Structure 1
């Protein structure tokens, strides 16, 4: 096995996103994803609903800067699916730690969908990996959670990378949609016909007309435009969106500039 491992390294060299050779990730990069999660919604201006309602609670594992940014970029856009384990464990810890702040009851863990172009380029939707790990982390803390892909992005909406705050909002305003399956799962009348909660026909513990509870999952929180669009369409479909969990959040502009001067 050692000989095969060495041969594979020669044929397909592996390196940590920081550049350290011969390891998929190094101890230093793993360490920046090992801290406690933090609430980050106040740094996302597009999550402010401007109607007196508090913004959607968002938990993040780390700041989207330095080694964390390098790891996430390699994972999403450079084919590094081998980083699923590192990032999956990180967001699972975030989910387990945040479970106590969520109300009881069944919970659907909803990944934010990628654009069609991004999905074709990457060959998969990495956020779905995160949603599975979030559901597992919540279950480890005693919650009744399961991942369900309720959203999609039809049409030719651009990927969000490189867009500013206003452009992100315009790009997503009509781009995020509830899937046909999602409409059936979330519609109170449809659930009443089936007699219970999605996936649990006749299950006790929740009135069939009560809103289905959802928790959003994404990789990076920037302006909050993506989560705001997802929250809006899920609520319009009859769901109760309780919050969101992300891998990382961009630092506020003031903090980012200060960190840049100190490095």
Structure 2
């Protein structure tokens, strides 16, 4: 179990009310970006209604995710687990944990296909299945702690313009609307800094780390609210951990106390990673995390 300040990120089997302004705004003014986010979400829902719908996993008609595949997805996310052991950017050279991470499930099968379709193919209806899985991982990580700030990792500006929404913000927003995680607060604190911080698919550990270094910063309007607050970083997929490490660095630099992170899914490290790909569901021994 990793502990920092007033917050702990636990091994599973041990809650977040996103604020109304919890939307990724990129570099655009807040009002314009909120409007764009709303229009994007509405378009996703409209597309799901008007376009022919079939299960993104098995092709069964009349449902974005059929009952059988939905049950399989829930089974994949039934037991959130500690996943930082296979994220080399989140470990020291000696193997000690820098940032503990709880994952909702393994990035494979129905979970991987549903997440890809949600992010890239306009399948907004899948939020109704993916959001509870993310919420379960958050509850496993934070437990009964109150007052913790959940800080979503922002999409790149290019991805936000292409999709019209930020997947992590949308899922946390769905949880907030349903009151699924009382006692926690989603804070839209991070933004992308100018630079080549996107396009990491297929890169190894070293190149990913170089690509994301310095790519995030905390909004000036949020810095004061983070000082001394327990914070948990939230993202959709964990690979090498470079993105989570950069987000934690930015939040810590602004005075936030980073307790750990939560992701919807954890994948094997990409080709070229320094770490072996086996043993994702190994739960590390309790480790004191660093405010880094």
How far the C-alpha of 1:105 sits from its partner, in A, is: 4.3
Q: 2:91 aligns with which of 44, 48, 64?
A: 48
Q: How does 1:216-231 map to 2 (within 5 A)?
A: 216-231=233-248
Counterpart CA distance in 2 for 1:9 and 1:33 is 20
Q: Determine whether 1:151 maps to 2:186.
A: no
How far the C-alpha of 1:50 sits from its partner, in A, is: 4.2
> What TM-score does the superposition give when structure 2 sets the normalisation length?
0.68
Describe the shift of the 1:27–1:84 C-alpha distance in structure 2 as closer, same or farther (beyond 3 A).
same
Counterpart CA distance in 1 for 2:241 and 2:218 is 19
Q: Determine whether 1:123 maps to 2:164.
A: yes
Q: More helix by proportion, 1 or 2?
A: 1
Q: Determine whether 1:244 maps to 2:285.
A: no
For 2:6, the equivalent position in structure 1 comes to: none
Q: 2:123 aligns with which of 68, 80, 83?
A: 80
SS in 2 for 1:162: coil
CA contact (8 A) 2:48 2:123 kept: no
1:189-226 deviation digits (Å, cap 9, x = unpaired)? xxxxxxxxxxxxxxxxxxxxxx1111111000011000
User: For this pair of structures, how many residues does the alignment match?
Assistant: 220
How far the C-alpha of 1:80 sits from its partner, in A, is: 1.4
Q: Determine whether 1:172 maps to 2:216.
A: no
Deviates more, 1:107-116 or 1:18-27: 18-27
Bigger radius of gyration: 1
**Which residues of structure 2 form unaligned runs of 5+?**
1-46, 270-275, 280-292
Counterpart CA distance in 1 for 2:259 and 2:180 is 16
Counterpart CA distance in 2 for 1:65 and 1:25 is 15
Counterpart CA distance in 2 for 1:163 and 1:246 is 20
Q: 2:110 aligns with which of 48, 67, 86?
A: 67
Indicate the structure whose relative CO is greater, using CA pairs within 8 Å and at least 6 residues apart: 2
1:18-65 deviation digits (Å, cap 9, x = unpaired)? 122211112333223321211111111111144886331211111111
For 1:4, the equivalent position in structure 2 comes to: none
Counterpart CA distance in 2 for 1:47 and 1:134 is 27
For 1:235, the equivalent position in structure 2 comes to: 252
